[in-house]
Structure 1
Amino acid sequence: MGKSVGYARVSTREQNLNTQIIALKQFVSEDMIVTDKATGANLDRIGYQSLKVGIGKLVKGDTLYIKSIDRLSRNKEQAKEELKYFQSIGVRVKVLDIPTTMVDIQNGKEWVIDMVNNILIEVLSSIAENERTTIKQRQAEGIQSMPIGIDGKRYSTKTKKPIGRPNITYPSNWIEIYNQWQAKQITATRAMQILGLKRNSFYKLANAYADKIQ
């Protein structure tokens, strides 16, 4: 029989872990609760990483208890990947705020655990996709609401600077190097080095220039 471990996290040192710890103590002993006071924006947290590496890492047959799914990560896509990771190594994740994950499974019916995990992962995938769509929509609406300058570009009302990446300009020796490349006197890689351009920028300018001279 595997071990049961709890994980609690708050974003800042000023926040209190007590509420999560009290809830987790109903299922695991306090000395088996791992904690972090760190942002949920990334996974590089000392406590959380100890669940994956070292003496206390979770292995097949273990159970991880968390109060809510965002304790793993505030990013739904990232949380989904973490659930898939634990599922792949045979660790069951029980989420106190999601009753279906808390059901006790009898021996021989482990397939129910996989079913619950798969449903949870699919739900998180759907939520993550909706969040991405909403963010993109809000960004587009925000840009559309910004004033347009005399140059036709939209400007931030806060910074007064134009929105978007600045246009790439042709280097002063562009025509010479471009012609050498077209004549196969130099490779594209060499042309990029001489012009000081990255691959995407080089081909973007090359395509635009080709259209221009046709």
Structure 2
Amino acid sequence: MKKYAYIRVSSKDQNIARQVEAMKSIGISEKDMFIDKQSGKDFFREQYQLLLKKLESGDELYIKSIDRLGRDYDEIQEQWRYLTKKINIDMIVLDFPLLDTRNQVNGITGKFIADLVLQILSYVAQVERENTKQRQAEGIRIAKEKGIQFGRPPIPIPNEFEEIYQLWKENKISKRKGARLLNTNHNTFTNWIKRYENDR
């Protein structure tokens, strides 16, 4: 049985010292620490993949906190099951004692407790994502009702537009010619026409 640690920060300029010290304090040497400096959006990380090849049944894998493993709880659950059931290792999350598969409480195994906790965390995260989307949608709706516009502000219609518009309206020039005369592109000229006609 060997002890390994997985350490992750989201970018190369972030500090790993706190996680490294936590692992040293429980007796894990630096040669057994696998460190990634990249986003936790998925599990295609160089050191994490190397770690998977090293792990054997009965080993212990330590992480400082559950978000060091990843960001998406559904994917975390999938990896957790792979590690604890397929490879058959123990997982220990230092900042979350309930996520320690070595534990046994009143005959209930640590693996069962950890699976249950992860399912609850996944559910809470999903509810929060849905609530966030709903709050954003409501905020946008209220803002639009108040006349707040989103996106880039419209390009002002130049003073010379009306004269060029009349030439286009009388079929004396094309839209593309009108756009060139106003030093703009076809799409902008078309938008100016719509705005001008709506405001009349």
Question: 1:23 and 1:49 mapped to 2: Cα distance?
Answer: 22
User: What's the secondary structure of 2:52's corresponding residue?
Assistant: coil
Question: 1:103 and 1:52 mapped to 2: Cα distance?
Answer: 18
CA-to-aligned-CA distance 1:9-50 (integer Å, 9 cap, x gap): 111111110100000112322211110110112221111111
1:12/1:41 Cα in 2 relative to 1: closer, same or farther (>3 Å)?
Answer: same
Partner of 1:45: 45
Partner of 1:123: 120
User: Does the 8 A contact of 1:92 with 1:113 survive in 2?
Assistant: no
User: What's the secondary structure of 1:88's corresponding residue?
Assistant: helix
Quote how far apart the aligned CAs of 1:155 are.
8.6
Partner of 2:5: 6
Question: 1:9 and 1:82 mapped to 2: Cα distance?
Answer: 15
2:154 equivalent to 1:157: no
Quote how far apart the aligned CAs of 1:81 are.
2.1
Quote how far apart the aligned CAs of 1:123 are.
2.2
Quote how far apart the aligned CAs of 1:160 are.
5.8
CA-to-aligned-CA distance 1:140-197 (integer Å, 9 cap, x gap): 223313426xxxxx99512469xxxxxxxxxxxxxxxxxxxxxxxxxxxxxxxxxxxx
1:34/1:158 Cα in 2 relative to 1: closer, same or farther (>3 Å)?
Answer: same
- Identify the range of structure 1 (29-38 vs 133-142) with the bigger mean alpha-carbon deviation: 133-142
Question: 2:40 and 2:70 mapped to 1: Cα distance?
Answer: 5
Partner of 1:168: none
Structure 2 residue identity aligned to 1:37: K
Question: 1:146 and 1:80 mapped to 2: Cα distance?
Answer: 38
Structure-to-structure mapping, 1:25-64, within 5 angstroms: 25-27=24-26, 28-53=28-53, 56=54, 58-64=55-61
User: Does the 8 A contact of 2:102 with 2:110 survive in 1?
Assistant: no
CA RMSD in angstroms comes to 2.7
User: Does the 8 A contact of 1:7 with 1:66 survive in 2?
Assistant: yes
User: Does the 8 A contact of 1:10 with 1:39 survive in 2?
Assistant: yes
The alignment's TM-score, normalised by the length of structure 1, stands at 0.61
- Structure 1 runs of 4+ aligned residues shifted over 3 Å read 101-106
Aligned length: 150
Structure-to-structure mapping, 1:183-202, within 5 angstroms: none
1:121/1:105 Cα in 2 relative to 1: closer, same or farther (>3 Å)?
Answer: closer
Partner of 2:20: 21
Specify which of 79, 85, 89 is matched with residue 88 of structure 1. 85
Structure 1 residue identity aligned to 2:10: S
User: What's the secondary structure of 2:61's corresponding residue?
Assistant: strand
User: Does the 8 A contact of 2:63 with 2:93 survive in 1?
Assistant: yes
> Unpaired segments of 5 or more residues in structure 1?
149-153, 162-214
User: Does the 8 A contact of 2:100 with 2:114 survive in 1?
Assistant: no
CA-to-aligned-CA distance 1:81-123 (integer Å, 9 cap, x gap): 22122122212110000123348558xx7x6122222222222
User: Does the 8 A contact of 2:60 with 2:91 survive in 1?
Assistant: yes
> Unpaired segments of 5 or more residues in structure 2?
155-200
Q: Which of the two has higher C-alpha Rg?
A: 2
